[in-house]
Structure 1
Amino acid sequence: MRPAHEVLSPARTALPAVEHWAVPYIGTPWAKTAHCWAFFRRVQAERFRVETPEIHIEAFDLRHLIKTFRGHPERSNWTRIERADLREGDAVLMGQRKLPWHIGVWVDVDGGRVMHCPEGGAVLQRLSDIRRCGWEMIEFYRYSA
């Protein structure tokens, strides 16, 4: 079994011989100003031509994160979908005790992965590994604006 935090490289996954678009993002460093939302926003703009607003996030203030992810007007631009309906680029909202405070991007490779940027830097993980890391609440959204 792979460690839940393992960063996957093309040599260790079922990625095709041609480099997958997600590979250059893996390992992107996390910073107070380059947190999960900033990473998500960058990937959405660069890969999916979805422009999301810059949102001020207090990366170390859990209350602020929860309040922002729950109530920001940007949420109205995204429609909740079921796991079976996921496609590449969909948003994966994560949290604990039904409280959202982290976001990633669905990547349609090797059965599906979530690319997200926790404090250690951007990783690509299976949903099962994300759950083992303590993310109890996992919801899926598609841009609909």
Structure 2
Amino acid sequence: MNISNYIGRPWINDQQDCWTLVRDIYRDHLQIDLPAIAIDADNLRQVVKAFEDDKNLSPWQPIPTPEHLCLVFFTPGHHRATHCGLWLDVMGGRFLHCHRQAGVVFEDRVTLEQNGWCCPRFYRHSQVRSPLAQRR
């Protein structure tokens, strides 16, 4: 998977944001079409509601530890997720995400937390097999 095509893409509210990046990666690399979630990132209530909506989350199952290309929800220090990205199991494991200040970046956990994102929660899509199941 070549992520260099994504790194540095700018963040554009309601056009090229964190969810758009997740959708693009899932479409391009896993052939899974995720639904569009059109939200105004300046309206945090709308963001939280979108990330907690059962319709949007129904195909995602929480997992205790990260797996390659799993969805990650982050918080900026409070209890409710307002940002998402992907975990890539390369270079010791890193987060690929798109945020307002930098566009698409590929960060380790320390850098991620230094930039204000914490409490990652990991989710596997129902159409993606667990790495343990793939080894069988």
Q: Distance in 2 between matches of 1:74 and 1:58?
A: 16
Paired residue total? 124
How far the C-alpha of 1:128 sits from its partner, in A, is 2.0
How far the C-alpha of 1:53 sits from its partner, in A, is 0.2
Deviating beyond 6 angstroms after TM superposition, the runs of 4 or more aligned structure 1 residues are: none
Bigger RCO of structures 1 and 2 (CA < 8 A, at least 6 apart):
1
- Partner deviation per Cα, 1:27-83 (whole Å, 9 max, x = no partner): 011111111111111111101222110111112111111111112412110010112
**One of 67, 81, 104 as aligned partner of 1:87:** 67
2:19 and 2:84 in contact (8 A); partners too = yes
- The runs of 5 or more residues in structure 2 that have no matched partner are 128-136
**One of 78, 83, 103 as aligned partner of 1:102:** 83
Which residue pairs with 1:7 in the alignment?
none
Percent of paired sites with the same residue? 31
How far the C-alpha of 1:116 sits from its partner, in A, is 0.3
Which residue pairs with 1:131 in the alignment?
113
Structure-1-length-normalised TM-score: 0.80
Q: Distance in 2 between matches of 1:75 and 1:128?
A: 27
Q: Distance in 2 between matches of 1:87 and 1:49?
A: 18
Q: CA RMSD in A?
A: 1.4
2:97 and 2:106 in contact (8 A); partners too = yes
Q: Distance in 2 between matches of 1:103 and 1:48?
A: 18
Structure-2-length-normalised TM-score: 0.84
- The runs of 5 or more residues in structure 1 that have no matched partner are 1-19
* Higher mean displacement: 111-120 or 88-97: 88-97
Q: Distance in 2 between matches of 1:72 and 1:126?
A: 29
